[in-house]
Structure 1
Amino acid sequence: MKTAICYYSRHHGNTLKILQAMASVGEIDLIDVTRTKSAQLAGYDCVGFASGIYGFEFQKAVVEFARQQLPQSKPVFFVYTYGGAKGTGAKAVAEIAAEKGCPVLGEFSCKGFDTFGPFKLVGGIAKGHPNDRDLENARRFYRDLQTKLENEVQT
């Protein structure tokens, strides 16, 4: 299953760590939306969108990338990390996927070390995350996603 994951990961690289774990068990092209302004996503079997949660939402560059680049009817999934609260999670990109008739295969999230704003004063929150268990859960999520998509193709 050839997969593209369009992502934004800064600060501590929490989201990228999760994506690299997924990439270790599948054929995944990671597309940093801050470095790539357009992508040919039609050739992929599915497309993921990934971000840390910033101000309780997906990073705006990922949302805009999805709005501009996501092909109609392309299977999608979402990945995000968060320090304290999930906020609205993947809601903004899920709405774009729905508008484009894209089936949602699943969503993965986990805690990520966060020192943004006031959290810096206390040494950060969600220390040690993503940890080995989070990374294994990410790999399992992607393997399950592969199986799900392969089963849908066969039926």
Structure 2
Amino acid sequence: MKTIILYRSKHRGNTKKLVDAIAAFDKGVETLDIATLGKDEYPDLSSYRLIGVASGIYYGHFDRDLKRVLEHSLSYGDKIFGLMTYGGANKWYGRDLVAVCQLKMASVLTMYGCRGFDSWGLFRLFGGIGVGHPNEEDIQGAVDFYARLREDYEEILEQEWQARSRRLAQEAAHPRRGFFSNLVHRVTSRFSNRKEEPRG
């Protein structure tokens, strides 16, 4: 199952630990640190059956640059899973990722999150929170999460991707027109196909 994980892990590298563990477990998983992209550079995700989106949680939200990349790169029907690390514990983490995917008509299948070492802002004065996280158990949890996701969805996602590819190819070969475009096309076709009458 062709899979890519787009990630941003800019504070303590917490999220990158999860991404690297999944990539080590499944050598076929590609990873892309969106920090390596240019300002107006966006990846082509059309060949991937499954797209992972991984981020630390910054002030309650996924990374802003990662969401910008998703807004330009996701397409109708894309299947997404989320990974996140956070200092606090809030059941609403990840809602902004879901919102971006809904706007692009992509589907978030499931998400995994765990604590991460956070020494941002005032937390630095107290030695940070979530010290020692993600630990081995957290990281293995991410790997197990991905393994279950692949086991449960691999065949379904491949079938859906193949069906979508056929539909897109069909639409490209026979583009749909609106009412006005259809009317113009019929009129111009009629005149272009009419044989010129002999003049006497």
Q: TM tier, shorter chain?
A: over 0.9
Provide the residue aligned with 2:58 in structure 1.
Answer: 54
Letter in 1 for 2:30: D
Alignment partners' CA distance in 1, 2:145 and 2:74: 22
Q: Which structure is larger by alpha-carbon Rg, 1 or 2? A: 2
Letter in 2 for 1:145: L
- Specify whether residues 87 and 55 from structure 1 end up closer, same or farther in structure 2 by C-alpha distance, changes over 3 A only: farther
Displacement of 1:88: 3.8
> When you count helix as a share of all residues, which structure comes out higher?
2
Provide the residue aligned with 1:30 in structure 2.
Answer: 31
Residue by residue over 1:63-90, the C-alpha shift from the partner in whole angstroms, topping out at 9 and shown as x without a partner, is 1111111122111011110012347422
Residue by residue over 1:88-111, the C-alpha shift from the partner in whole angstroms, topping out at 9 and shown as x without a partner, is 422112112122222222100000
- Asked if the contact 1:66–1:93 (Cα under 8 Å) also holds between the matched residues in 2, the reply is no
Is 1:120 the counterpart of 2:121? The answer is: no
Displacement of 1:11: 1.9
Residue by residue over 1:39-79, the C-alpha shift from the partner in whole angstroms, topping out at 9 and shown as x without a partner, is 11111111111110001111101111111111221110111
Secondary structure class of the residue paired with 1:34: helix
5 Å-filtered alignment, 1:2-151, equals: 2-26=2-26, 27-36=28-37, 37-86=41-90, 88-151=92-155
Displacement of 1:151: 4.1
- Structure 2 spans left out of the alignment, 5+ residues: 161-200
Which deviates more, 24-33 or 138-147?
24-33
- Asked if the contact 2:54–2:84 (Cα under 8 Å) also holds between the matched residues in 1, the reply is yes
Greater RCO (Cα-Cα under 8 Å, separation 6 or more): 1
Letter in 2 for 1:28: V
Provide the residue aligned with 1:152 in structure 2.
Answer: 156
RMSD (Å), alpha carbons: 1.6
Alignment partners' CA distance in 1, 2:36 and 2:21: 21
Secondary structure class of the residue paired with 1:57: coil
Alignment partners' CA distance in 2, 1:63 and 1:71: 14
TM-score by length of 2: 0.73
> When you count strand as a share of all residues, which structure comes out higher?
1
TM-score by length of 1: 0.93
Which deviates more, 126-135 or 87-96?
87-96
Count of residues in Structure 1 that have an aligned counterpart in Structure 2? 155
Secondary structure class of the residue paired with 1:118: helix
